[in-house]
């Protein structure tokens, strides 16, 4: 379904020298599976997602979607072919409402579907449909609206970049249930979740660990777990202490 061939991305650093942030990645993502991508910060996870979406262009290598070489296609063209990407930090828009964005994501979406999509990410449609996707929303609300757009799209390839970031633990559990319900064992769909969340990783069929721009481990969550346990537990502690602090406030 989605194939990366020797994908490499070079950027200039502050000292005027070139640095490979994605280093010759070869990977295949087959339909019907949910994939996890994890690894330390700066390992190349988001850069890889942005390469697939066309936001970044590779220095070398190719990206194939259903055997079509899409390496030279624009963001819009890739979106139209069925790639969806939920941003790690979605931008805000003055004057565009939640309903507007979901309607752009899924033109002609019916009201029932639109509302159920918002409920799936823990947002009450009555409260949110007509709200501006602007400064009045919290980071967590923005994140959930971002995921709702990806859910609404029902794309062939859905990439979610740290869907758990900034979202409360209760919503993470709900999101996991929604991802399982919507994407798990769907024969025509590829789902890629970039995550540091243990529970999120355990719903994946396969996990890739990225470090220094390379896939250093690949396997089932159980196979991968010993390699990432320390880092994930550390991240989970950070998240949980944040949640406790929130509850205390």
Partner 1 sequence: MKFGEIETNLLKTIANLDGVPKGAVNIRIDGSPALRHSSPNIQIIPKQDKPGFDLTVAPGTKGETVHVPVILTKSGLKDLVYNTFIIGEHAEVTIIAGCGIHNSSHMNSQHDGIHEFILHPYSKLKYVEKHYGEGSGEGKRILNPTTTVQVAEGALIEMEMVQIAGVDDAVRTTTVHIQEKGYVKMVERLLTHGDQHAESHVEMYIEGQGGTGQVLSRSVAKENSTQVFKAALIGRAECTGHVECDAIIMDQSKIKAIPQLVAEDTNAVLTHEAAIGKIAGEQLIKLMSLGLTEQQAIDTIIEGFLR
Question: What are the residues binding partner 1 (CB under 8 A)?
Answer: 53, 55, 74-76, 79-80, 84-85, 87, 90-91, 93-96, 100-101, 104-105, 149, 153
β-bridge mates for residue 158, sequence order: 84, 191
- Quick one: 77 or 238, whose CB is closer to partner 1? 77
- Closest distance between partner 1 and the C-beta of residue 143, in Å? 13
- Quick one: 16 or 135, whose CB is closer to partner 1? 135
Q: Pick from 44, 88, 36, 50: which is nearest to 211 by CA?
A: 44
- Closest distance between partner 1 and the C-beta of residue 91, in Å? 4
Rounded Cα gap, residues 1 and 144, in angstroms: 27
Q: What is the DSSP letter of 164?
A: T
- Quick one: 102 or 215, whose CB is closer to partner 1? 102
Rounded Cα gap, residues 46 and 65, in angstroms: 19
- Quick one: 66 or 74, whose CB is closer to partner 1? 74
Place of tokens 């991305």: 9
Burial of 124 (0-12, 13-18, 19+ CB in 10 A): exposed
- Quick one: 75 or 240, whose CB is closer to partner 1? 75
- Quick one: 26 or 74, whose CB is closer to partner 1? 74
Helix (H, G, I), strand (E, B) or coil at 229: helix
CB 124 within 8 A of CB 165: no
Q: In what order do the strands lie in the sheet with 68-69?
A: 18-29, 2-12, 60-65, 68-69
- Closest distance between partner 1 and the C-beta of residue 109, in Å? 12
- Closest distance between partner 1 and the C-beta of residue 146, in Å? 9
CB 142 within 8 A of CB 92: yes
């Amino acid at each position: 379904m989605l194939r990366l061939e020797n994908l490499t991305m070079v950027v200039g650093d502050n000292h005027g020298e070139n640095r490979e942030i994605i280093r010759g990645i070869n990977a295949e993502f087959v339909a019907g599976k949910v994939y996890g991508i994890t690894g330390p910060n700066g390992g190349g996870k988001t850069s890889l997602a942005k390469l697939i979406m066309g936001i970044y262009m590779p220095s070398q290598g190719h990206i194939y979607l259903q055997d079509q070489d899409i390496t030279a296609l624009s963001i819009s063209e890739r979106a139209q072919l069925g790639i969806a990407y939920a941003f790690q930090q979605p931008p805000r828009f003055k004057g565009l409402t939640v309903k507007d964005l979901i309607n752009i994501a899924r033109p002609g979406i019916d009201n029932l579907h639109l509302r159920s999509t918002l409920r799936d990410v823990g947002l009450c449609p009555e409260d949110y449909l007509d709200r501006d996707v602007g400064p009045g929303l919290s980071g967590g609300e923005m994140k959930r609206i971002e995921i709702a757009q990806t859910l609404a799209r029902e794309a062939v390839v859905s990439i979610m970049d740290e869907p758990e970031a900034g979202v409360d633990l209760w919503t993470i559990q709900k999101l996991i249930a929604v991802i399982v319900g919507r994407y798990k064992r769907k024969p025509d769909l590829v789902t890629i979740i970039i995550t540091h969340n243990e529970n999120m990783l355990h719903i994946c069929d396969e996990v890739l660990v990225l470090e220094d721009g390379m896939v250093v481990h690949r396997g089932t969550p159980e196979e991968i777990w010993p390699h990432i346990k320390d880092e994930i537990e550390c991240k989970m502690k950070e998240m949980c202490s944040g949640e406790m602090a929130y509850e205390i406030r």
